[in-house]
Structure 1
Amino acid sequence: MSARSNTEPALSVRPDDPVRPRQTAEPGRLAWVDVAKGICIILVVMMHSTLGVGEAMGREGFMHHVVEFAKPFRIPDFFLLSGLFLGRVVDRDWRLFADRRIVHFAYFYLLWLVLQSAVKYGQITEGAGPGAFLAHLAYGLVEPYSTLWFIYLLAVFSVAVKLLRRVPGPLLLIGAALLQLAPIHTGSTLIDEFCGRFVYFVAGTLFASRIFALADVVRARAGLALLGLAAWALVEGVFTFTATGFPSHPTLASLPGISLVLGAAGALAIVATAALLTKAGGPVTEALRACGERSIVIYLAFFLPMAALRTLLVRSGIIDDVGLVSLLVTVTAVALPLGIERLVRHTPARFLFRRPAAFHLVGEERAPAAPHLAPVRTA
């Protein structure tokens, strides 16, 4: 989904350096980004954990309602946050851009494609041997694999925005919105998710300065912001849990147009929530910020502890409450990757979460300075 260089902030712009010192110059301005990322990565892990537990136990629990509530904005907010700082590198030369936005994501995608696939070797090959496994890896080059599709799409989105950077911003945004509204269902994760999510990445890139200004306003007018969030939560709940009777669009929130609006509104609600939490401080905020700072670590490694604990709890029957099992699996799947990263941080195994120097096209010391926030040129 780490010391933040002048060219790479965003969701996981720097997973090769996930442990960064606290911001001191602008603690309120940048801390909320990490808090927002922390909220998002927890919601993603919660979704996978809860749905997996529900399927394994054959019923639903209270966590399913939380997952359903977050469905309209969970992924949109992730991509909006990831687009916030693309303006810092989009106009740079292709070598620097490729290092920061293509090779960077490709390294972690390919590494964890192999690792995750190796864990499921038997399931993937079904006795067909190494040839089937290699074919599976080759297919993963053109079709994003499992939960890693998000990292794959980040590289694709970044390249798309760079190639289209001369297109006027409003036109680019309208085009991306039309893709989201269009009934595109090809069966390809790459194509379908690109069409469905590109608009949020573009919005994060084009409106970066305004989104940061929104966070400043929220901190300055906390009471009004809380009222706005309460109103949003009410509307979100009504649309999310009101059935339509249409199989293709089971709830109001899934209807074309409404899903786009709710995705954008929910993403901004997470921004506002993160800004308020950052202003309030406290252990919850610090925990969320820690998760956000290392969101890529959690995103890459949560699948193994999630699957292991889910299997253990379901088979043992120690706990029969689906909601409680889902909660325990979620907490474990978030916490264990952070523990693993801490253990390997100063060992040769740090390559799991830190991109080695050999896989850099441009050294950090050669990266030129950039303005604090430079949104994509809109004309």
Structure 2
Amino acid sequence: MTPIGTMPAHGGFRTSAAARVDWVDYAKGICIVMVVMMHSVLGVELAADKTGFMHGLVAFAKPFRMPDFFLISGLFLPLVIDREWRTYLDRKVVHFAYFYVVWVTIQFGFKAHGLAAETGWREVGWLYLESFIEPFGTLWFIYLLPVFFVVTKLTRRFPPLAIWLIAAALETARITTGWTAIDEFCARFVYFYSGYLFADYVFALSDRARSHPRLALAGLAAWAIVNGSLIALGLSEWKFVSLLLGFAGACAIITTGTLLARAHWMNVLRFCGEHSIVIYLAFFLPMASTRTFLLRTEIVPDIGMVSLIVTIAGIIGSLVIWQAALRLRANFLFERPSAFWIVPKKVVGALQAAE
């Protein structure tokens, strides 16, 4: 199974492959936990019409939660961007498109009856078809990744600085069309492209943090104070400020992941990062069911605790679904079957080994 953002060894970096994968997995683990937390907390608070102590954590992570995820997703693109188009599209477009189709269908299967009660079955059918134009629910990330991969390859002959400046301008322009694909592309492409363009600098940052942990910790403390202060003052959404906070937060998560990998602490985050696509695809079901149960029964009166439990249930529940799928031979839920590969697996494997 290939997780979100393939992580082969990068021949241009001098640190060991194991160490590099370790910190990237930690960073991705932090990211996916923050994503699940955001959906869980906001969902609970919306349904309960009140906020809890988890709300502050979600607000703190907002400036960098998705920027970091996209930046990491672009890190290893220099390894594969020069592949011929057929192989490239297979790995970077068909791969994610397959999971989107499978899981948008599953999500509609669970939500169709409720939607039909409100709008009728004909409208549900149109909504399903529309989901291939307008990303559905939590799945917009893997809908957008293939777009980023294709745009980056199409523009690789253009001056990189010009592309980066255009991407940064799109982020600061705050374009709002109502179409998720366009709006999120404009808001997020600069981070993905930065991961691709500045990969050497990102790994250099990780190496420096690994070599100077005390300095790294001091930097993290300073960043946390600045990030939290700007959010508290209501300045984090300002133009240019949001861009800077996005990059600063991404650097902070990279540094945190490096320090955790160096100390071999919190391996659960590394595990979550290794299986980020499993969590991302499946967390909606245990999250929603746990939220509904807790709010209806009111066995946990504190909204903050409800949000925390729902977050944990979303993460653990998605991993349970994954293991159940493997035992029931429903691997197709998390692994792309050979029938949906354009380039045979053994060919792709040989290419990866050559890298």
Q: TM-score range by the shorter chain?
A: over 0.9
**CA drift at 1:26:** 2.8
Cα RMSD for the two superposed structures: 1.8
1:315 paired residue number:
296
Deviation larger for 324-333 or 132-141: 132-141
Counterpart residue type for residue 341 of structure 1: W
The Cα shift of 1:339 comes to 1.6
- Give the C-alpha shift of residue 133 in structure 1: 3.0
Contact 1:313 1:325 in 2 (8 A): yes
Q: What amino acid does structure 2 have at the position aligned with 1:122?
A: H
Post-superposition CA distance 1:176-217 (Å, at most 9, x none)? 000001131111101100000000000001111211121111
* Equivalent residue letter for 1:354: E
CA contact (8 A) 1:215 1:272 kept: yes
CA distance in 1, matches of 2:93, 2:165: 25
For structure 2, list consecutive stretches of 5 or more residues without a partner in the other structure.
Answer: 8-15
Offset at residue 371 of structure 1 (A): 9.1
**Residues 1-379 of structure 1 mapped to structure 2, 5 A cutoff:** 2=1, 11-13=4-6, 26-126=17-117, 130-242=121-233, 251-282=234-265, 284=266, 286-367=267-348, 368-369=350-351
Instruction: Check the 8 A contact 2:134/2:179 in 1, yes or no.
Output: yes
Contact in 2 for aligned 1:157/1:201 (Cα 8 Å): yes
Q: Distance in 2 between matches of 1:253 and 1:164?
A: 31
User: 1:29-67: CA deviations, max 9, x gaps?
Assistant: 211101100000000000110111111222111100000
Q: What secondary structure does 2:351 align onto?
A: coil
TM-score (norm 2): 0.94
CA 1:178–1:128 in 2, change beyond 3 Å: closer, same or farther?
A: closer
2-side partners of 1:372 and 1:44: how far apart? Answer: 34
CA positional deviation for 1:370: 5.6
Letter in 1 for 2:236: A
Amino acid at match of 1:64: H
Q: Deviations over 1:66-115 (max 9, x none)?
A: 00000000000010010111122211111101100110000000111110
CA distance in 2, matches of 1:340, 1:54: 25
Of Structure 1 and Structure 2, the greater helix share is in 2
Contact 1:88 1:371 in 2 (8 A): no
CA offset digits 1:275-297 (Å, max 9, x no partner)? 00000113x1x100110011011
8 Å Cα contact 2:31-2:65 kept in structure 1: yes
How many residues are matched? 347
**Aligned position for 2:12:** none
Contact 2:338 2:345 in 1 (8 A): no
Q: Percent identity among equivalent residues?
A: 49
Q: TM-score, normalised by structure 1?
A: 0.88
Aligned partner letter, 2:243? L
